[in-house]
Amino acid sequence: MAINWFKYSAPTNFYALAGKLIPWFAWPAAILFGIGFYIGFFVAPTDAVQSEAYRIIFIHVPASILSMFIYLIMAGYAALGLIFKTRLSAMMASALAPTGALFAFISLWTGALWGKPMWGAWWVWDARLTSELILLFLYLGFIALQASIEDPRRADRASALLAIVGSVNVPIIYYSVQWWNTLHQGSTIKFSGTSMHVAMQQSMFIMLAACWLYAIAIALARVRSIILEREANTHWVKELGEKA
Amino acid sequence: MKHLSLLGLLWLVIRRDMLLAMRRRADVLTTLIFFVMVVSLFPLGVGPEAEMLRKMAGGVLWVAALLSSMLSLPRMFAADHLDGTLEQMMLVPQSLSVMVLGKIVAHWMLSGLPLVLIAPVLGVQFDMPLAAIWTLMLALLLGTPVLSMIGAVGAALTLGLRGGGVLVSLLVLPLTIPVLIFGAGAVEAVNSGLDAVSNLALLGAFLLFALVFTPFVAAQALRISME
Amino acid sequence: MSWSEFFAMNGYAFYVWGSYGVALLVFLIEIVAVRHRRKLVLRQLRWMNESGETE
């Protein structure tokens, strides 16, 4: 029983598949958020140095990781769309961008709220926060470019090129900022011990998984709208409109 | 029809862009004046204290250079796009990448090189030591071409769009941050009595990297925008 | 940990709940926005269908 995966690269088929898949990602995400939160707050102990404030990391770190991960996936889809000229790939890239940007925002916000009690300032120009800010700019640039171009094909391809150029730059930017930061004696985040308590690791990992599942669910939901918007003139969408 | 070598093509494009720019000298000068003005704004904003200005000088001049380069970017392709020359350039069998490189070189000579040359004057305004000024000039010499090159990709992607200059800046500025970091870092190193060689070497590496890839990428961006 | 300790977070309540609160808010806003977008598209399609059928 060979599954013809390629049939799902047609927006028609993917639309239906995505719709069925969403609950399979959304519900586990919610459950994992609950479990991760519980372990992070009720099982993990109080940190000797940072007291209760350290618990912010259970949302801060997953958000940071995901914001970077999503950018790369987005650029990957964009590249696929450019090379193979598949419309769906470009649509997936567009669907992922807002989610990635929002995760970058959450990372910056929670990072600031963590920094204030720890180092006394709302914003410290440490390598990770600064790189995260630049990543947010890259996301916003992608979204702005797409929004500025009327022709959907040109918009897809132009933003795809931008995403690819951006992703090549991301490691360069990251290391430049790291270097810049060590030069200016940035502060680093330290815990009381050399290793993290097991429960802390567990919670972080579970929250990371939860965020990831959430991202997939919301991107699938968004891409369904994008498909409808783009394919509005096709037969199957018209039929869908009749049923609605 | 005389056969045109790649180098000949490059020279042709550079010469043409330079000639056209010379007929509209105001454009070139406004970029320069903008650079000088932005640099002069900083002391007005932060105060004239010499020690602080000396420390800031490298960063301020670099940020101003970034902004000035961004300003002049739409000019790279806009005029040719409007009068149809760009379309012709793309139809011709010769390499589009080489033509784009020619345009980048011309852009740099008109927007980047003047900044390098006027930097010492501004450096004196900030009471920079001589060694720092030299380092700054060298860093700008290596870095401003990279700005033109990355900018070319941005200008090509945003061809004909409304919001022109600002949109290009939004897209390009984050990508130029490494150049800013190491360019200003070079000056700071010299100010701290250290060697700026590693910073300058990295800038050189960026330059080579950009030289190899950006003409091709910008040419692709042009094709995307012009379809 | 007791409930009062949970809410107080040893004095760091503002920072911890400010973080989680905003994160939750962002997720909720995103979900609402995506659903709203879908609603708009479906409405638009229905409208297009109706004007098409009267031909």
In this complex, the residue of B163, B174, B181 whose CB is nearest that of residue A141 is B174
Write down the pLDDT at residue B67: 94
A96 to chain B, closest Cα gap in Å: 18
Q: Tens digit of pLDDT for each residue in C1-45?
A: 677 777 777 778 888 999 999 999 999 999 999 999 999 999 988
CA atoms B89, B94, B99, B101: torsion sign: positive
Write down the pLDDT at residue A178: 84
> Which chains pack against C, by 3+ Cβ pairs within 8 A?
A
Q: Is A67 in the C-facing interface, judged by CB distances under 8 Å? A: no
Q: What is the pTM of this model?
A: 0.90
Beta carbons within 8 Å of B164's beta carbon, 6+ residues apart: B74, B78, B158
Q: Tens digit of pLDDT for each residue in B147-192?
A: 999 999 999 999 989 877 889 999 999 999 999 999 999 999 999 8
Chains A and B share 3 or more Cβ pairs within 8 Å: yes
The nearest alpha carbon in chain C to A42 belongs to: C1
For residue A194, pLDDT beyond 80: no
Q: Which of C26, C27, C51 should be substituted to probe chain A, the one whose Cβ sees the most A Cβ atoms within 10 Å? A: C27
The nearest alpha carbon in chain A to C10 belongs to: A52
In this complex, the residue of A42, A59, A113 whose CB is nearest that of residue C1 is A42
The SS3 assignment for B153 reads helix
**Are B123 and B105 contacting, i.e. CB atoms less than 8 angstroms apart?**
no
Write down the pLDDT at residue A190: 47
Q: Give me the residue spans of the domains in chain A.
A: 33-42+56-187+195-232
Q: Which residues form the domain of B220?
A: 6-226
CA atoms B204, B205, B208, B214: torsion sign: negative
For residue A216, pLDDT beyond 90: yes
For residue A184, pLDDT beyond 70: no
CB atoms within 10 A of CB A60: 27
C33: which 2 tokens? 């926005």
Residue C12 to residue A117, Cβ atoms within 8 A: yes
ipTM given for this complex: 0.88
Closest CA to A230 of A76, A87, A82, A83: A87
- Number of domains observed in the structure of chain B: 1
A12: which 2 tokens? 């028609």
CB pairs under 8 A between A and B: 65
Q: H helices within B113-196, ranges in order?
A: 113-125, 130-157, 164-172, 177-191
Q: Is C24 in the A-facing interface, judged by CB distances under 8 Å? A: no
Write down the pLDDT at residue B62: 96
Distance CA A177, CA B177 (A): 9
Closest CA to A230 of A146, A125, A153: A153
**Are A222 and C34 contacting, i.e. CB atoms less than 8 angstroms apart?**
yes
Write down the pLDDT at residue C55: 47
Banded pLDDT at A185 (limits 50, 70, 90) = low
A239 vs A117: which has the higher pLDDT: A117
Residue C19 to residue A240, Cβ atoms within 8 A: no
Does B172 fall in a domain? yes
Write down the pLDDT at residue A210: 96
The SS3 assignment for C49 reads helix
Banded pLDDT at A34 (limits 50, 70, 90) = very high
In this complex, the residue of A141, A158, A173 whose CB is nearest that of residue B224 is A158
Distance CA B25, CA B47 (A): 34
Q: Tens digit of pLDDT for each residue in A110-161?
A: 999 988 888 788 887 878 888 899 999 999 999 999 999 999 999 999 999 9
Does B1 fall in a domain? no
Does B141 fall in a domain? yes
Residues of chain B with confidence (pLDDT) below 70: 1-2
For residue A187, pLDDT beyond 60: no
Distance CA B192, CA B182 (A): 15
Q: What is residue B190's DSSP assignment?
A: H
CB atoms within 10 A of CB B104: 28
